[in-house]
Amino acid sequence: MFLNAARTALGAAGMGAGSVPCFYKEPVFRECRLFTLLPLLWALIFFCGCGQARDPCQPSSVEEIAGCRVGVQVGSTADQGATALLDRLGYADMLERFNSSPDAVTAMKQGKIDLVIVDHQPALEFLRKNPDLVILDFPFAQETFAGAVALERPDLLAEINQALIRAEEMGIPEKLRQTFVEHQGDYHYVQKNQGGAPLVMATNAQFPPYEYFEGGQVTGYEVELARAVADLMGRQLRIEEMEFDAVISAVAAGKADFAFAGLSVTEDRQKSVNFTRPLVTTRISVLARSGMAAASAGEEAERSLSQRFHDNFIEQDRWLFIARGLGITLLVAFLSTLCGFAGGFVLAVIRSWHDRNGGLAVPNFLAVIYINVIRGTPVMIQLLIIYYLIFAAVDVSKILVAVAAFGLNSAAYSAEIIRGGIMAVDRGQFEAGRTLGLSPFQIYRHIVLPQAVKKVLPALGNESISLLKETSISGYIGLADLTRGGVIIRSITYEAFMPLMAVALIYLILIGLMSFGVSRLERRLRRDER
């Protein structure tokens, strides 16, 4: 389990994943070891995928999957099925869990894994866009999707079920199936109800044809069905898009009223949520590279850069994901920097006041605990705790949640920076103030703090730079920040290079500008001192 998690993490790190395939098959091993000596070629492996030259692994039954490197979407039914199967067969370490199935498909196209186990309809969608893939003949398993509602809300469950029955009577699911699954006809359900209390739906729009992004909007079979359900309930549908593994907990925690997210009914999930009537009955399929893999990879490379640029950013205005994400990243980083500085300032004054003048024992004790807890836990965990535990019952904007999490985190770090600045102010400054009859408060306000702030401004600038980078985990609470903008484009185009590089470049530019600002500030402060 842990090993797999580590492997997945490595996979996300990109470079590390390039090495993983190399250790399974002998002939490539030596070649790859040579590569480890040559960092430049490592980069090559990363982009081309060193497994590309290998024979595709094409099993003819479920049991024969053993020995192939298998990718799944973390937390999906395919994940559970594949985990059980591979554990039983003793190949548990051959399973790689990805954040989304498009990620898994991308990894397979790059030769990092051999098979992707995924629901049948998404598999067909992948096939449609990637002719170098095949769906293997045998089904991996059968499954049923249903909506999820919190255990504590049986009334809502009954209402949704009723609405679903009426929708079925009206033939809506069948017409939607024609459109989205069979690609016949052009029926779309347009929501009529624009008023009414909002009905919040949690989903993960990386699961075509049930839910996916098109033209910057979330759409798909289940999404339009949800619109029909909301209409029939006299409610207005609000969609919260988030990581797949966050969907169930969002419903259980009351962050969303219900979820349509291609959720299979499983025993484990039934402990956290109630399921609605079945929305879809389908099978889980196995995707593999076809024999044409190499040839079409060649074609891929031949597609001009401008064509790929067009696909990733211009087509359907996909650049908007990045532009909007950039706005959110900047907003979150800016506000949490402000909160962090303000909080850090207060904590630092308490801490240093205690150290210098005595007193404030209780606030100081609390501040020490706060700083140690915050600095002793990953910011990612803090973000999840704030979203799922602290704001569990309250419906607040995710931006606010992110600002709170990153602000509280930054406060602890800023506090130590500012305290360092205060303690670095010479003792003689305090003594001179005291001999002139100034109170400790006046000494702090007029003499010590202005000097301390000046000393620590560059360090605080650097703190805000790290904070900007830290906000890139906002996607875990479903906030569509810059990083997530890239992830969404990647899930639509199945291309890693363009969106990741674009996002990296934007961060680089932002941080370059901030670093430039900080060094200018440093120079100016130094000059003032002379």
Partner 1 sequence: MTSAEEQGKGAEPLLEVQDLCRRYGEHVILDHVSFRIMPGDVVAVIGPSGCGKSTLIRSLNLLERAESGRILFHGRDLLTLSSREAAATIPRIGMVFQQFNLFDNMTVLRNVALAPEISGGLTRSQAEEKAMMLLERVGLAGRAGAYPSHLSGGQKQRVAIVRSLAMDPEIILFDEPTSALDPEMVQEVLALMRDLAQGGLTMMVVTHEMRFARNVSTRAMFVCDGGIRVDEPPERFFEDPPDPRLREFLTTAGMRG
What is the binding site for partner 1 (CB under 8 A)? 426, 428-429, 431-439, 442, 446-447, 450-451, 454, 528-530
Nearer to partner 1, 395 or 431 (CB): 431
CA angle 392, 395, 396 (to 5 degrees): 105
Interacting residues of 456 by C-beta distance below 8 A, sequence separation 6+: 417, 418, 420, 421
Least distance in angstroms from the C-beta of 476 to partner 1: 43
Nearest to 401 by CA among 412, 390, 393: 390
C-alpha to C-alpha distance for 70 and 263, rounded to whole angstroms: 21
Nearer to partner 1, 278 or 440 (CB): 440
Nearer to partner 1, 376 or 437 (CB): 437
User: What is each CA distance from 157 to 148, 170, 247, 483, in whole angstroms?
Assistant: 8, 20, 17, 35
Q: How many CB atoms lie within 10 A of CB 173?
A: 20
Is residue 273 within 8 A of residue 148, CB to CB? The reply is yes
User: What DSSP character marks residue 410?
Assistant: H
Least distance in angstroms from the C-beta of 337 to partner 1: 24
Nearest to 271 by CA among 290, 287, 252: 252
Is residue 216 within 8 A of residue 316, CB to CB? The reply is yes
Least distance in angstroms from the C-beta of 451 to partner 1: 5
C-alpha to C-alpha distance for 469 and 511, rounded to whole angstroms: 9
Nearer to partner 1, 277 or 454 (CB): 454
Tokens 């990647």: give the residue.
Answer: 490
Least distance in angstroms from the C-beta of 527 to partner 1: 11
Torsion sign (Cα): 227, 231, 233, 237: positive
C-alpha to C-alpha distance for 281 and 142, rounded to whole angstroms: 8
Is residue 434 within 8 A of residue 420, CB to CB? The reply is no
Q: How many CB atoms lie within 10 A of CB 153?
A: 17
Nearer to partner 1, 142 or 442 (CB): 442
Least distance in angstroms from the C-beta of 346 to partner 1: 21
Nearer to partner 1, 376 or 428 (CB): 428
Helix (H, G, I), strand (E, B) or coil at 227: helix
Least distance in angstroms from the C-beta of 528 to partner 1: 8
Least distance in angstroms from the C-beta of 430 to partner 1: 9
C-alpha to C-alpha distance for 45 and 24, rounded to whole angstroms: 16
Nearer to partner 1, 270 or 442 (CB): 442
C-alpha to C-alpha distance for 484 and 451, rounded to whole angstroms: 40
Least distance in angstroms from the C-beta of 357 to partner 1: 10
Nearer to partner 1, 192 or 427 (CB): 427
Least distance in angstroms from the C-beta of 493 to partner 1: 55
User: What DSSP character marks residue 185?
Assistant: S
What is the enclosing helix (H) or strand (E) of 282? strand 273-289
Least distance in angstroms from the C-beta of 316 to partner 1: 56
Nearer to partner 1, 430 or 476 (CB): 430
What is the enclosing helix (H) or strand (E) of 276? strand 273-289
Nearer to partner 1, 26 or 528 (CB): 528
Q: How many CB atoms lie within 10 A of CB 267?
A: 7
Instruction: Give the DSSP letter string of 112-144.
Output: S-SEEEEEHHHHHHHHHH-TTEEE-SS-SEEEE
What is the enclosing helix (H) or strand (E) of 107? helix 101-109
Least distance in angstroms from the C-beta of 444 to partner 1: 12
Nearer to partner 1, 179 or 451 (CB): 451
